[in-house]
Structure 1
Amino acid sequence: MAANPSDQQSVEQTEGEAWPEPAPDATYVIRRVHQLRRVPVVELSIEDLRIMVSQSVGTVAILPRILDLLEENPLSEGDFYPGDLLVATLRLRRDYWSDHVGLLDRARRVAQRADAMANQLNGAQALELRRLVGEFLSN
Structure 2
Amino acid sequence: MPKNDEGRVTASLANKTLEEIDGQRWPTPCCASYLEATTTSLRKKHLGQFTTEDLRIMIAQDIGAEVLKPFALAVLREDPMAEGDYYPGDLLEAARKRWPDDPELQALT
Task: Give the structure-1-normalised TM-score.
Answer: 0.67
Q: When the two structures are aligned, how many residues end up with a matched partner?
A: 102
Matches within 5 A, 1:32-43: 32-43=38-49
Aligned partner of 1:68 in structure 2 is 74
Aligned partner of 2:104 in structure 1 is 109
State whether structure 2 residue 25 is matched by structure 1 residue 18: yes
1:93: Cα distance to partner?
6.1
| RMSD (Å) for aligned C-alpha atoms | 1.9
Task: Give the structure-2-normalised TM-score.
Answer: 0.83
Structure 1: runs of 5 or more not aligned: 98-103, 115-139
Higher relative contact order (CA 8 A, sep 6+): 2
Q: Choose the corresponding residue for 1:92, options 81, 85, 98.
A: 98
Aligned partner of 1:29 in structure 2 is 35
Write 1 or 2 for the structure with the bigger share of helix.
Answer: 1
Query: What one-letter code is carried by the residue in structure 2 that aligns with 1:19?
Result: W
1:63: Cα distance to partner?
1.0
| Off by >6 Å, runs of 4+ in structure 1 | none
1:38: Cα distance to partner?
0.4
Q: Is residue 95–residue 105 contact of structure 2 (8 Å, CA) maintained in 1?
A: no
Which of these two proteins has the greater Rg computed from alpha carbons? 1
Q: Is residue 8–residue 41 contact of structure 1 (8 Å, CA) maintained in 2?
A: yes
Q: Secondary structure at the match of 2:40?
A: helix
CA distance in 2, matches of 1:93, 1:70: 14
CA distance in 2, matches of 1:32, 1:76: 20
Q: Is residue 96–residue 105 contact of structure 2 (8 Å, CA) maintained in 1?
A: no
Q: Percent identity?
A: 31
Q: Choose the corresponding residue for 2:62, options 51, 56, 59.
A: 56
Q: Secondary structure at the match of 1:91?
A: helix
CA distance in 2, matches of 1:75, 1:36: 22
